[in-house]
Structure 1
Amino acid sequence: MTPTSNRALTRERLLLTAERLFAVHGIDAVSLRQISVEAGQRNNSAAQYHFGTKEDLIRAIFAFRLATINRRREEMVDVLVREGRTADLRALTEAMVRPLAEQIDGGGSFYVRFLARVHQHAGASVYALPAMGVEGSSTRIGRMIGAALVHLPALVRRSRLQLGGSLAVHATADREQRVHGGMPEDVLPPLVFVADLVDSVVGIFSAPVSEETLASITNTGCLAEEEGWDANRRPPGRAEPDSVAAPPAPTASPEDSAGRFATG
Protein backbone atom coordinates (compact mmCIF):
# COMPACT_ATOMS: atom_id res chain seq x y z
CA MET A 1 0.00 0.00 0.00
CA THR A 2 1.41 3.39 -0.99
CA PRO A 3 1.71 6.25 1.53
CA THR A 4 -0.96 8.16 -0.40
CA SER A 5 -3.51 5.33 -0.27
CA ASN A 6 -2.71 4.69 3.40
CA ARG A 7 -3.29 8.36 4.17
CA ALA A 8 -6.64 8.26 2.32
CA LEU A 9 -7.76 5.20 4.30
CA THR A 10 -6.75 6.83 7.58
CA ARG A 11 -8.59 10.00 6.68
CA GLU A 12 -11.76 8.06 5.77
CA ARG A 13 -11.57 6.03 9.00
CA LEU A 14 -11.32 9.25 10.99
CA LEU A 15 -14.25 10.78 9.08
CA LEU A 16 -16.54 7.80 9.68
CA THR A 17 -15.55 7.60 13.33
CA ALA A 18 -16.20 11.31 13.83
CA GLU A 19 -19.56 11.06 12.07
CA ARG A 20 -20.60 8.19 14.37
CA LEU A 21 -19.40 9.83 17.59
CA PHE A 22 -20.95 13.20 16.75
CA ALA A 23 -24.24 11.47 15.84
CA VAL A 24 -24.39 9.44 19.05
CA HIS A 25 -22.97 11.89 21.60
CA GLY A 26 -23.39 15.37 20.10
CA ILE A 27 -20.95 17.90 18.68
CA ASP A 28 -19.62 19.37 21.92
CA ALA A 29 -19.32 16.03 23.76
CA VAL A 30 -16.66 14.67 21.40
CA SER A 31 -13.04 15.80 21.22
CA LEU A 32 -10.58 15.42 18.37
CA ARG A 33 -8.44 13.26 20.65
CA GLN A 34 -11.38 10.92 21.33
CA ILE A 35 -11.98 10.58 17.59
CA SER A 36 -8.34 9.64 17.02
CA VAL A 37 -8.42 7.01 19.77
CA GLU A 38 -11.75 5.52 18.62
CA ALA A 39 -10.41 5.33 15.06
CA GLY A 40 -7.53 3.17 16.30
CA GLN A 41 -4.79 5.70 15.64
CA ARG A 42 -1.57 5.43 17.65
CA ASN A 43 -1.16 9.18 17.33
CA ASN A 44 -3.83 10.82 19.51
CA SER A 45 -3.48 13.99 17.44
CA ALA A 46 -4.28 12.24 14.14
CA ALA A 47 -7.66 13.96 13.68
CA GLN A 48 -6.11 17.36 14.27
CA TYR A 49 -3.24 16.52 11.91
CA HIS A 50 -5.55 15.47 9.06
CA PHE A 51 -8.34 18.06 9.48
CA GLY A 52 -7.19 20.90 11.74
CA THR A 53 -10.15 22.11 13.80
CA LYS A 54 -13.41 20.42 14.72
CA GLU A 55 -15.24 22.81 12.36
CA ASP A 56 -12.95 21.76 9.51
CA LEU A 57 -13.67 18.12 10.34
CA ILE A 58 -17.42 18.77 10.21
CA ARG A 59 -16.98 20.41 6.80
CA ALA A 60 -15.04 17.36 5.64
CA ILE A 61 -17.86 15.02 6.74
CA PHE A 62 -20.33 17.11 4.74
CA ALA A 63 -18.09 17.02 1.68
CA PHE A 64 -17.62 13.25 2.05
CA ARG A 65 -21.38 12.57 2.11
CA LEU A 66 -22.73 15.37 -0.06
CA ALA A 67 -21.04 14.20 -3.25
CA THR A 68 -23.43 11.25 -3.48
CA ILE A 69 -26.49 13.09 -2.13
CA ASN A 70 -26.09 16.12 -4.38
CA ARG A 71 -25.40 14.00 -7.45
CA ARG A 72 -28.69 12.19 -6.85
CA ARG A 73 -30.52 15.49 -6.29
CA GLU A 74 -29.08 16.99 -9.44
CA GLU A 75 -30.24 13.98 -11.45
CA MET A 76 -33.78 14.33 -10.10
CA VAL A 77 -33.89 18.10 -10.67
CA ASP A 78 -32.49 17.75 -14.19
CA VAL A 79 -35.36 15.38 -15.02
CA LEU A 80 -37.87 17.95 -13.73
CA VAL A 81 -36.24 20.67 -15.83
CA ARG A 82 -36.37 18.53 -18.97
CA GLU A 83 -40.02 17.67 -18.32
CA GLY A 84 -40.97 21.29 -17.60
CA ARG A 85 -42.02 20.46 -14.04
CA THR A 86 -39.98 22.99 -12.09
CA ALA A 87 -43.17 24.34 -10.51
CA ASP A 88 -44.32 20.87 -9.38
CA LEU A 89 -44.09 21.33 -5.61
CA ARG A 90 -44.41 17.67 -4.72
CA ALA A 91 -41.80 16.57 -7.26
CA LEU A 92 -39.39 19.26 -6.03
CA THR A 93 -39.97 18.22 -2.43
CA GLU A 94 -39.29 14.59 -3.32
CA ALA A 95 -36.00 15.64 -4.92
CA MET A 96 -35.18 17.39 -1.67
CA VAL A 97 -36.13 14.50 0.62
CA ARG A 98 -35.42 11.23 -1.19
CA PRO A 99 -31.62 11.48 -1.64
CA LEU A 100 -31.24 12.09 2.09
CA ALA A 101 -33.63 9.30 3.09
CA GLU A 102 -31.79 6.88 0.82
CA GLN A 103 -28.75 7.21 3.09
CA ILE A 104 -30.55 5.26 5.82
CA ASP A 105 -30.67 1.97 3.98
CA GLY A 106 -27.15 2.25 2.63
CA GLY A 107 -25.85 0.30 5.62
CA GLY A 108 -24.13 1.64 8.73
CA SER A 109 -24.58 5.33 7.99
CA PHE A 110 -24.76 7.79 10.86
CA TYR A 111 -24.87 10.79 8.53
CA VAL A 112 -28.50 11.83 8.98
CA ARG A 113 -28.22 11.69 12.77
CA PHE A 114 -24.98 13.65 12.50
CA LEU A 115 -26.77 16.23 10.37
CA ALA A 116 -29.55 16.48 12.97
CA ARG A 117 -26.94 17.08 15.67
CA VAL A 118 -25.41 19.90 13.63
CA HIS A 119 -28.87 21.45 13.20
CA GLN A 120 -29.36 21.32 16.97
CA HIS A 121 -25.96 22.77 17.78
CA ALA A 122 -26.19 26.23 19.30
CA GLY A 123 -23.30 27.49 17.21
CA ALA A 124 -24.62 26.32 13.84
CA SER A 125 -27.91 27.87 12.82
CA VAL A 126 -29.69 26.72 9.68
CA TYR A 127 -28.54 29.95 8.03
CA ALA A 128 -24.89 29.10 8.76
CA LEU A 129 -25.07 25.59 7.33
CA PRO A 130 -24.32 26.58 3.70
CA ALA A 131 -20.92 27.79 4.90
CA MET A 132 -20.46 24.37 6.51
CA GLY A 133 -20.80 22.62 3.16
CA VAL A 134 -24.57 22.32 2.64
CA GLU A 135 -24.79 23.91 -0.77
CA GLY A 136 -25.17 23.20 -4.48
CA SER A 137 -28.34 21.35 -5.33
CA SER A 138 -29.98 22.14 -1.98
CA THR A 139 -29.87 25.83 -2.86
CA ARG A 140 -31.04 25.14 -6.42
CA ILE A 141 -34.08 23.19 -5.21
CA GLY A 142 -34.70 25.80 -2.53
CA ARG A 143 -34.96 28.54 -5.15
CA MET A 144 -37.40 26.45 -7.19
CA ILE A 145 -39.56 25.67 -4.16
CA GLY A 146 -39.44 29.33 -3.15
CA ALA A 147 -40.69 30.31 -6.61
CA ALA A 148 -43.58 27.85 -6.22
CA LEU A 149 -44.44 29.52 -2.90
CA VAL A 150 -44.13 33.12 -4.04
CA HIS A 151 -47.83 33.63 -3.27
CA LEU A 152 -46.87 33.50 0.44
CA PRO A 153 -45.47 36.48 2.34
CA ALA A 154 -41.66 36.34 2.26
CA LEU A 155 -41.52 36.03 6.04
CA VAL A 156 -43.81 32.98 5.98
CA ARG A 157 -42.06 31.53 2.92
CA ARG A 158 -38.68 31.57 4.64
CA SER A 159 -40.16 30.03 7.76
CA ARG A 160 -41.86 27.27 5.76
CA LEU A 161 -38.57 26.38 4.01
CA GLN A 162 -36.84 26.10 7.38
CA LEU A 163 -39.66 24.06 8.94
CA GLY A 164 -39.90 21.71 5.98
CA GLY A 165 -36.16 21.14 5.89
CA SER A 166 -36.02 20.60 9.63
CA LEU A 167 -38.81 18.01 9.49
CA ALA A 168 -37.08 16.18 6.64
CA VAL A 169 -33.79 16.00 8.53
CA HIS A 170 -35.13 15.07 11.96
CA ALA A 171 -37.75 12.58 10.76
CA THR A 172 -35.12 10.85 8.64
CA ALA A 173 -32.62 10.90 11.52
CA ASP A 174 -35.22 9.33 13.82
CA ARG A 175 -35.88 6.57 11.30
CA GLU A 176 -32.14 6.00 10.82
CA GLN A 177 -31.72 5.59 14.59
CA ARG A 178 -34.62 3.14 14.82
CA VAL A 179 -33.45 1.07 11.85
CA HIS A 180 -29.87 0.77 13.08
CA GLY A 181 -31.03 0.41 16.68
CA GLY A 182 -32.82 -2.83 15.92
CA MET A 183 -36.35 -1.41 16.01
CA PRO A 184 -37.51 -1.91 12.39
CA GLU A 185 -41.02 -2.83 13.54
CA ASP A 186 -41.50 0.77 14.68
CA VAL A 187 -40.86 2.34 11.27
CA LEU A 188 -42.64 2.48 7.93
CA PRO A 189 -41.16 0.55 4.99
CA PRO A 190 -38.69 2.73 3.03
CA LEU A 191 -40.97 3.55 0.08
CA VAL A 192 -43.91 4.36 2.36
CA PHE A 193 -41.74 6.44 4.69
CA VAL A 194 -40.38 8.60 1.87
CA ALA A 195 -43.80 9.09 0.24
CA ASP A 196 -45.39 10.03 3.57
CA LEU A 197 -42.52 12.35 4.51
CA VAL A 198 -42.83 14.11 1.14
CA ASP A 199 -46.58 14.49 1.77
CA SER A 200 -45.86 15.98 5.20
CA VAL A 201 -43.27 18.48 3.96
CA VAL A 202 -45.50 19.50 1.04
CA GLY A 203 -48.24 20.09 3.61
CA ILE A 204 -45.97 22.49 5.48
CA PHE A 205 -44.94 24.30 2.31
CA SER A 206 -48.43 24.61 0.81
CA ALA A 207 -50.66 25.19 3.84
CA PRO A 208 -52.75 28.36 3.44
CA VAL A 209 -51.87 31.34 5.58
CA SER A 210 -54.64 31.77 8.14
CA GLU A 211 -56.33 35.05 8.93
CA GLU A 212 -54.81 34.79 12.42
CA THR A 213 -51.29 34.55 11.00
CA LEU A 214 -51.88 37.43 8.58
CA ALA A 215 -53.27 39.54 11.42
CA SER A 216 -50.23 38.73 13.57
CA ILE A 217 -47.86 39.66 10.74
CA THR A 218 -49.71 42.91 10.17
CA ASN A 219 -49.85 43.79 13.87
CA THR A 220 -46.12 43.24 14.32
CA GLY A 221 -45.29 45.38 11.29
CA CYS A 222 -43.60 42.50 9.45
CA LEU A 223 -45.50 43.18 6.22
CA ALA A 224 -43.37 46.28 5.68
CA GLU A 225 -40.90 44.06 3.78
CA GLU A 226 -43.63 42.60 1.56
CA GLU A 227 -43.35 44.97 -1.37
CA GLY A 228 -46.08 44.20 -3.86
CA TRP A 229 -47.36 41.18 -1.95
CA ASP A 230 -51.04 40.47 -2.62
CA ALA A 231 -53.03 38.57 0.01
CA ASN A 232 -55.35 37.29 -2.75
CA ARG A 233 -52.56 35.80 -4.87
CA ARG A 234 -52.95 32.08 -5.48
CA PRO A 235 -50.25 29.43 -5.88
CA PRO A 236 -48.92 29.19 -9.46
CA GLY A 237 -51.38 27.32 -11.65
CA ARG A 238 -54.33 27.59 -9.28
CA ALA A 239 -57.32 29.56 -10.57
CA GLU A 240 -59.03 32.38 -8.73
CA PRO A 241 -62.46 31.61 -7.23
CA ASP A 242 -64.23 33.24 -10.20
CA SER A 243 -62.27 30.96 -12.57
CA VAL A 244 -60.18 33.83 -13.90
CA ALA A 245 -56.56 32.72 -14.00
CA ALA A 246 -54.30 34.46 -11.56
CA PRO A 247 -51.59 36.69 -13.04
CA PRO A 248 -48.18 35.04 -13.38
CA ALA A 249 -46.30 35.06 -10.12
CA PRO A 250 -43.04 37.02 -10.12
CA THR A 251 -39.81 35.12 -9.79
CA ALA A 252 -38.77 34.66 -6.19
CA SER A 253 -35.62 36.54 -5.30
CA PRO A 254 -32.57 34.66 -4.02
CA GLU A 255 -32.84 36.61 -0.77
CA ASP A 256 -36.39 35.38 -0.21
CA SER A 257 -35.93 31.74 -1.12
CA ALA A 258 -32.30 30.76 -1.31
CA GLY A 259 -32.96 27.23 -0.20
CA ARG A 260 -32.19 27.75 3.46
CA PHE A 261 -33.69 24.47 4.55
CA ALA A 262 -30.31 22.72 4.64
CA THR A 263 -31.24 19.14 4.10
CA GLY A 264 -27.76 17.90 3.80
Structure 2
Amino acid sequence: MPALLRFAPSPNGYLHLGHALSALLTWDAAATLGGTALLRIEDIDINRCKPEFIRAIFEDLAWLGLAWPEPVLHQSERFQLYADAANRLRDMDLLYPCFCSRADIAAQSTGKDPDGAPLYPGTCRHLSNAERIAGLERGDPVQFRLDMTKATARTGLLTYTIVGPTILDRPQIRYARPERWGDVVLQRKDVPTSYHLSVVVDDAAQGITHVTRGKDLEAATDVHVLLQMLLEMPTMRYHFHRLVKDDTGGKLSKSKGSPSLRDLRAQGWTPADIRRRIGF
Protein backbone atom coordinates (compact mmCIF):
# COMPACT_ATOMS: atom_id res chain seq x y z
CA MET A 1 0.00 0.00 0.00
CA PRO A 2 1.45 3.43 -0.91
CA ALA A 3 2.54 5.55 2.03
CA LEU A 4 0.15 8.33 2.96
CA LEU A 5 1.05 11.10 5.43
CA ARG A 6 -0.64 14.31 6.51
CA PHE A 7 0.17 17.76 7.82
CA ALA A 8 -2.78 18.93 9.90
CA PRO A 9 -2.49 22.46 11.33
CA SER A 10 -5.21 24.24 13.29
CA PRO A 11 -6.11 27.63 11.78
CA ASN A 12 -6.26 29.47 15.10
CA GLY A 13 -3.25 31.61 14.25
CA TYR A 14 -0.47 31.97 11.70
CA LEU A 15 2.08 29.21 11.10
CA HIS A 16 5.52 29.63 12.70
CA LEU A 17 8.92 27.97 12.30
CA GLY A 18 7.82 24.89 14.23
CA HIS A 19 5.04 24.31 11.73
CA ALA A 20 7.52 24.78 8.89
CA LEU A 21 9.73 22.02 10.28
CA SER A 22 6.79 19.66 10.74
CA ALA A 23 5.46 20.32 7.24
CA LEU A 24 8.84 19.96 5.53
CA LEU A 25 9.58 16.75 7.42
CA THR A 26 6.18 15.35 6.43
CA TRP A 27 6.66 16.09 2.73
CA ASP A 28 10.24 14.79 2.87
CA ALA A 29 9.12 11.57 4.56
CA ALA A 30 6.40 11.07 1.96
CA ALA A 31 8.95 11.50 -0.85
CA THR A 32 11.39 9.11 0.85
CA LEU A 33 8.67 6.47 1.15
CA GLY A 34 7.44 7.03 -2.40
CA GLY A 35 4.08 8.22 -1.06
CA THR A 36 1.93 11.32 -0.76
CA ALA A 37 1.52 14.07 1.83
CA LEU A 38 -1.96 15.46 2.42
CA LEU A 39 -2.96 18.79 3.91
CA ARG A 40 -5.76 18.64 6.47
CA ILE A 41 -7.33 21.63 8.22
CA GLU A 42 -8.12 20.81 11.86
CA ASP A 43 -10.65 23.54 12.53
CA ILE A 44 -12.95 22.00 15.14
CA ASP A 45 -12.40 25.06 17.38
CA ILE A 46 -15.12 27.11 15.72
CA ASN A 47 -14.54 30.10 18.00
CA ARG A 48 -10.79 30.53 17.39
CA CYS A 49 -10.33 29.22 13.85
CA LYS A 50 -10.64 31.94 11.21
CA PRO A 51 -10.85 31.94 7.37
CA GLU A 52 -7.87 34.31 7.16
CA PHE A 53 -5.73 31.79 9.01
CA ILE A 54 -6.79 29.04 6.60
CA ARG A 55 -5.84 31.20 3.63
CA ALA A 56 -2.49 31.95 5.26
CA ILE A 57 -1.78 28.22 5.73
CA PHE A 58 -2.19 27.65 1.99
CA GLU A 59 -0.05 30.69 1.18
CA ASP A 60 2.74 29.79 3.61
CA LEU A 61 3.01 26.17 2.50
CA ALA A 62 2.99 27.11 -1.18
CA TRP A 63 5.72 29.69 -0.43
CA LEU A 64 7.80 26.90 1.11
CA GLY A 65 7.45 25.02 -2.18
CA LEU A 66 4.97 22.39 -1.02
CA ALA A 67 1.98 21.05 -2.96
CA TRP A 68 -0.85 18.69 -1.99
CA PRO A 69 -3.81 16.87 -3.52
CA GLU A 70 -7.24 18.46 -3.60
CA PRO A 71 -9.77 18.58 -2.07
CA VAL A 72 -8.42 19.42 1.37
CA LEU A 73 -10.32 17.90 4.29
CA HIS A 74 -11.77 20.45 6.75
CA GLN A 75 -12.76 18.96 10.08
CA SER A 76 -15.48 21.57 10.68
CA GLU A 77 -17.46 19.86 7.91
CA ARG A 78 -17.33 16.46 9.59
CA PHE A 79 -18.91 16.92 13.03
CA GLN A 80 -21.59 14.28 12.39
CA LEU A 81 -18.92 11.64 11.67
CA TYR A 82 -17.18 12.42 14.95
CA ALA A 83 -20.51 12.28 16.78
CA ASP A 84 -21.16 8.87 15.21
CA ALA A 85 -17.80 7.61 16.51
CA ALA A 86 -18.58 8.97 19.97
CA ASN A 87 -21.93 7.18 19.89
CA ARG A 88 -20.13 3.91 19.18
CA LEU A 89 -18.13 4.43 22.36
CA ARG A 90 -21.29 5.43 24.21
CA ASP A 91 -22.93 2.18 23.13
CA MET A 92 -19.98 0.39 24.75
CA ASP A 93 -20.74 2.26 27.99
CA LEU A 94 -17.40 4.05 27.75
CA LEU A 95 -18.56 7.69 27.71
CA TYR A 96 -20.13 9.61 30.57
CA PRO A 97 -21.30 13.22 30.97
CA CYS A 98 -19.11 15.58 32.98
CA PHE A 99 -20.44 18.85 34.34
CA CYS A 100 -17.23 20.03 36.02
CA SER A 101 -15.70 23.38 35.17
CA ARG A 102 -11.96 23.97 34.85
CA ALA A 103 -12.05 25.63 38.25
CA ASP A 104 -13.75 22.57 39.74
CA ILE A 105 -11.08 20.28 38.30
CA ALA A 106 -8.21 22.49 39.45
CA ALA A 107 -9.65 22.52 42.98
CA GLN A 108 -10.20 18.75 43.14
CA SER A 109 -7.20 17.41 41.24
CA THR A 110 -4.25 15.85 43.02
CA GLY A 111 -2.09 15.10 39.97
CA LYS A 112 -1.02 16.27 36.53
CA ASP A 113 -1.51 14.81 33.07
CA PRO A 114 1.45 14.45 30.67
CA ASP A 115 0.88 18.02 29.44
CA GLY A 116 1.09 19.35 32.99
CA ALA A 117 -2.62 20.18 33.30
CA PRO A 118 -4.62 19.16 36.41
CA LEU A 119 -5.57 15.50 36.11
CA TYR A 120 -9.32 14.97 36.16
CA PRO A 121 -10.19 13.14 39.41
CA GLY A 122 -13.22 11.31 37.98
CA THR A 123 -15.82 13.28 39.92
CA CYS A 124 -18.73 12.86 37.48
CA ARG A 125 -17.87 9.24 36.79
CA HIS A 126 -19.41 8.51 40.20
CA LEU A 127 -22.71 10.33 39.59
CA SER A 128 -25.86 8.24 39.66
CA ASN A 129 -27.97 7.94 36.52
CA ALA A 130 -30.56 10.18 38.18
CA GLU A 131 -27.94 12.88 38.79
CA ARG A 132 -26.69 12.65 35.22
CA ILE A 133 -30.21 12.89 33.78
CA ALA A 134 -31.00 15.85 36.00
CA GLY A 135 -27.92 17.73 34.80
CA LEU A 136 -28.68 17.00 31.17
CA GLU A 137 -32.34 17.98 31.48
CA ARG A 138 -31.37 21.27 33.17
CA GLY A 139 -29.13 22.01 30.24
CA ASP A 140 -26.01 22.30 32.41
CA PRO A 141 -22.81 22.77 30.34
CA VAL A 142 -21.63 19.25 29.64
CA GLN A 143 -18.70 17.47 28.07
CA PHE A 144 -18.32 13.73 27.61
CA ARG A 145 -15.33 11.84 28.96
CA LEU A 146 -13.88 8.44 28.23
CA ASP A 147 -14.01 6.07 31.19
CA MET A 148 -10.34 5.16 31.02
CA THR A 149 -10.56 2.22 33.42
CA LYS A 150 -13.30 0.53 31.40
CA ALA A 151 -11.63 1.40 28.09
CA THR A 152 -8.23 -0.04 28.95
CA ALA A 153 -9.86 -3.14 30.41
CA ARG A 154 -11.37 -3.78 26.97
CA THR A 155 -8.10 -3.46 25.08
CA GLY A 156 -5.50 -4.89 27.43
CA LEU A 157 -1.84 -4.19 26.67
CA LEU A 158 -1.49 -1.66 23.84
CA THR A 159 1.47 -1.34 21.50
CA TYR A 160 2.26 0.67 18.40
CA THR A 161 5.20 1.11 16.05
CA ILE A 162 7.59 4.05 15.98
CA VAL A 163 10.39 4.87 13.56
CA GLY A 164 13.23 7.31 14.14
CA PRO A 165 15.37 9.31 14.03
CA THR A 166 14.46 9.06 10.31
CA ILE A 167 11.39 7.64 8.66
CA LEU A 168 13.42 4.70 7.25
CA ASP A 169 14.99 3.57 10.52
CA ARG A 170 14.26 0.15 11.97
CA PRO A 171 10.74 0.04 13.46
CA GLN A 172 10.48 -0.23 17.23
CA ILE A 173 7.58 -1.36 19.39
CA ARG A 174 6.31 1.19 21.89
CA TYR A 175 3.95 0.39 24.77
CA ALA A 176 1.08 2.83 25.13
CA ARG A 177 0.05 4.09 28.58
CA PRO A 178 -3.15 6.06 28.02
CA GLU A 179 -4.10 5.76 31.69
CA ARG A 180 -1.66 8.62 32.37
CA TRP A 181 -4.27 10.96 30.90
CA GLY A 182 -7.14 9.88 33.11
CA ASP A 183 -10.68 10.24 31.74
CA VAL A 184 -9.97 12.41 28.69
CA VAL A 185 -12.62 14.61 27.08
CA LEU A 186 -13.85 13.20 23.77
CA GLN A 187 -16.78 15.58 23.22
CA ARG A 188 -16.27 19.16 24.28
CA LYS A 189 -18.88 21.55 25.63
CA ASP A 190 -18.88 23.62 22.43
CA VAL A 191 -18.51 20.94 19.73
CA PRO A 192 -19.39 17.23 19.50
CA THR A 193 -15.78 16.11 19.30
CA SER A 194 -12.23 16.74 20.54
CA TYR A 195 -8.76 16.72 19.06
CA HIS A 196 -8.24 13.11 20.18
CA LEU A 197 -11.43 11.81 18.60
CA SER A 198 -11.38 13.76 15.34
CA VAL A 199 -7.74 12.99 14.54
CA VAL A 200 -8.32 9.25 14.99
CA VAL A 201 -11.47 9.27 12.83
CA ASP A 202 -9.80 11.27 10.06
CA ASP A 203 -6.53 9.35 10.00
CA ALA A 204 -8.57 6.18 9.46
CA ALA A 205 -10.89 7.79 6.89
CA GLN A 206 -7.98 9.15 4.85
CA GLY A 207 -5.97 5.92 5.00
CA ILE A 208 -2.97 7.50 6.71
CA THR A 209 -0.10 5.02 7.05
CA HIS A 210 2.58 7.16 8.76
CA VAL A 211 2.24 10.09 11.14
CA THR A 212 5.04 12.61 11.66
CA ARG A 213 4.42 14.79 14.69
CA GLY A 214 6.39 16.78 17.23
CA LYS A 215 7.65 15.23 20.45
CA ASP A 216 5.14 17.40 22.31
CA LEU A 217 2.41 15.08 20.98
CA GLU A 218 4.22 11.86 21.81
CA ALA A 219 2.23 11.19 24.99
CA ALA A 220 -1.10 12.01 23.29
CA THR A 221 -0.42 9.21 20.83
CA ASP A 222 -1.20 6.74 23.62
CA VAL A 223 -4.80 8.00 23.70
CA HIS A 224 -5.04 7.79 19.92
CA VAL A 225 -3.83 4.20 19.85
CA LEU A 226 -6.43 3.32 22.50
CA LEU A 227 -9.23 4.92 20.47
CA GLN A 228 -8.06 3.18 17.31
CA MET A 229 -8.36 -0.18 19.04
CA LEU A 230 -11.75 0.61 20.57
CA LEU A 231 -13.17 1.84 17.25
CA GLU A 232 -11.53 -0.98 15.25
CA MET A 233 -9.50 1.48 13.20
CA PRO A 234 -5.95 0.93 11.93
CA THR A 235 -2.90 2.03 13.87
CA MET A 236 -0.22 3.70 11.78
CA ARG A 237 3.52 4.09 12.24
CA TYR A 238 4.60 7.17 14.16
CA HIS A 239 7.68 9.35 13.88
CA PHE A 240 8.25 11.98 16.58
CA HIS A 241 10.44 14.85 15.47
CA ARG A 242 12.41 17.45 17.41
CA LEU A 243 10.87 20.82 18.28
CA VAL A 244 12.06 24.24 17.16
CA LYS A 245 12.99 26.28 20.22
CA ASP A 246 13.09 30.04 20.79
CA ASP A 247 16.04 31.99 22.19
CA THR A 248 15.08 31.03 25.75
CA GLY A 249 14.93 27.32 24.92
CA GLY A 250 11.13 27.23 25.01
CA LYS A 251 8.85 25.66 22.41
CA LEU A 252 7.48 28.00 19.75
CA SER A 253 3.75 28.55 19.95
CA LYS A 254 1.00 30.79 18.63
CA SER A 255 -0.11 31.64 22.16
CA LYS A 256 3.36 33.00 23.00
CA GLY A 257 3.36 35.20 19.93
CA SER A 258 6.24 33.39 18.24
CA PRO A 259 7.20 35.08 14.94
CA SER A 260 5.03 33.74 12.13
CA LEU A 261 6.18 32.66 8.69
CA ARG A 262 4.05 35.51 7.38
CA ASP A 263 5.99 38.03 9.50
CA LEU A 264 9.36 36.57 8.52
CA ARG A 265 8.44 36.68 4.84
CA ALA A 266 7.49 40.34 5.19
CA GLN A 267 10.91 40.96 6.75
CA GLY A 268 12.60 39.56 3.65
CA TRP A 269 13.22 35.97 4.72
CA THR A 270 13.31 33.41 1.90
CA PRO A 271 12.31 29.72 2.01
CA ALA A 272 16.04 28.94 2.07
CA ASP A 273 16.41 31.16 5.15
CA ILE A 274 13.60 29.24 6.86
CA ARG A 275 15.27 25.92 6.11
CA ARG A 276 18.62 27.12 7.47
CA ARG A 277 17.01 28.46 10.66
CA ILE A 278 15.28 25.17 11.43
CA GLY A 279 18.25 23.04 10.36
CA PHE A 280 16.42 21.28 7.57
Q: Normalized against structure 2, the TM-score is what?
A: 0.21
Select the structure that is richer in strand. 2
- Structure (1 or 2) with the larger CA radius of gyration: 1
